[in-house]
Amino acid sequence: MSSAMRRLVGSALKNASSSSFKTNVMPRRFYSSGGSPPPRKVVVLGAAGGIGQPLALLMKLNPLVSKLALYDIAGTPGVAADVGHINSRAEVAGYMGEEQLGTALENANVVIIPAGVPRKPGMTRDDLFNINAGIVKSLCSAIAKYCPEAIVNMISNPVNSTVPIAAEVFKKAGTYNEKKLFGVTTLDVVRAKTFYASKAGVPVEEVDVPVVGGHAGVTILPLFSQATPKPNSVLSEEDIKALTKRTQDGGTEVVEAKAGKGSATLSMAYAGAVFASSVLKGLNGEPNIVECSYVQSNVTELPFFASKVRLGEKGVEEVLGLGFLSEYEKQGLEGLKSELKSSIEKGIKSASEN
């Protein structure tokens, strides 16, 4: 990749955060003293997969990463050798098989989990749930043992349940810190921004749209009433409904277009890299870093909920409220609660079994 291309990718990631394109403030700690970014180790679990590989590439390009550990049950030496030749700060190491998981995780600051199986034709939601729940449980047990202080970014689906599963595993191990567990819902925000920009006729780089609730179907609630910049001509109720539905069905749009060859990987890797970059900025003390994420929450009566979150040196600095909601959004909020509640309960129940 040419240096021009590298700058382009770097600046796209930098600008993508809903907060950073507005504030563009350098991290307090090291930029104010003119120093270089502090050392940060990022681990990707599931690094040889459809999401894991492009995510490894994007994290290697992130100047805030000093060590990048790539773990999978197979294929990581090749991915690590390949990504490791790129000219950027992060030292890359590949780890394969359970016996190397502990070393991969040691001293991690951020662990990103895209391990698991994606939705495939013929697979029921329960099949997907059972396989991924088992994978998430075993990986989170290892995190509790080898890097209990790390921030965990959960990508493995169903996020509405895998985050409560992770919380239960950490509680059992005595390491749970609700400020350090995030469900990555950034892809919903990425999609909402793209669809809104196109309909509203505004530049996508300037768009901000909060997406709240959860991370599946109707639990995904984009708040287009809060979208900025405002459209050139007012969007009709029908337009808003169509944008909402397209955001909720974004994953299916990709699954169908890929015709049985997997689900979203490239846009998910981009979204995962944007979110991880914001987490790292928060850790480094950069102020006003805000992203939507699915976290332990008091915003509604549900114990986990996605909303805007201010990121800081300890992970979650503040879970922000919902703000103004239109009548349509209020209905969407009430309508999503029962499904989200049962997904949370399913995760908690699954974690308590064996």
Cα gap 209→267, rounded to integer Å: 17
Strand partners, 221: 212
Residue from 118, 250, 312, 347 touching ligand NAD (CB under 6 A): that is 118
* Annotated binding residue 160: no
Residue from 226, 263, 288, 326 touching ligand NAD (CB under 6 A): that is 263
Q: In the 8-state DSSP scheme, what is residue 33? A: T
Q: Say whether residue 148 binds ligand NAD (CB under 6 A).
A: no
* Annotated binding residue 119: yes
- CA torsion sign for 43, 123, 339, 219 is positive
Residue from 17, 19, 42, 50 touching ligand NAD (CB under 6 A): that is 50
* Annotated binding residue 49: yes
Q: Say whether residue 51 binds ligand NAD (CB under 6 A).
A: yes
Q: What is the secondary structure of 150-187 as a DSSP string? A: SEEEE-SS-HHHHHHHHHHHHHHHT---GGGEEE--HH
Residue from 59, 64, 115, 165 touching ligand NAD (CB under 6 A): that is 115
To the nearest whole angstrom, how small is the minimum distance from the Cβ of residue 56 to ligand NAD?
11
Cα gap 90→63, rounded to integer Å: 7
* Annotated binding residue 52: yes
* Annotated binding residue 250: no
Please list the active-site residues.
215
Angle of helix 237-248 versus helix 250-257 axis, rounded to 10 = 60
Strand 289-296 to 220-222 pairing: unpaired
Residue nearest to ligand NAD (CB): 49
* Annotated binding residue 201: no
Residue from 17, 18, 132, 307 touching ligand NAD (CB under 6 A): that is 132
Strand partners, 112: 44, 153
Residue 309 neighbours by CB under 8 Å, 6+ apart: 182, 290, 291, 292, 293, 295, 316, 317, 318, 319, 320
Question: What mask of x and - would describe binding to ligand NAD in positions 179 to 218, judged by CB under 6 A?
Answer: -----x--x-------------------------------
Cα gap 134→351, rounded to integer Å: 9
Which residue stretch of 16-24, 66-74, 77-85, 205-213 sits at the interface with ligand NAD (rule: CB under 6 A)? 66-74
Give me the residues that bind ligand NAD (CB under 6 A), please.
45-46, 48-52, 72-74, 114-119, 132, 135, 138-139, 155-157, 159, 184, 187, 262-265, 268
Annotated binding site for substrate: 119, 125, 157, 191
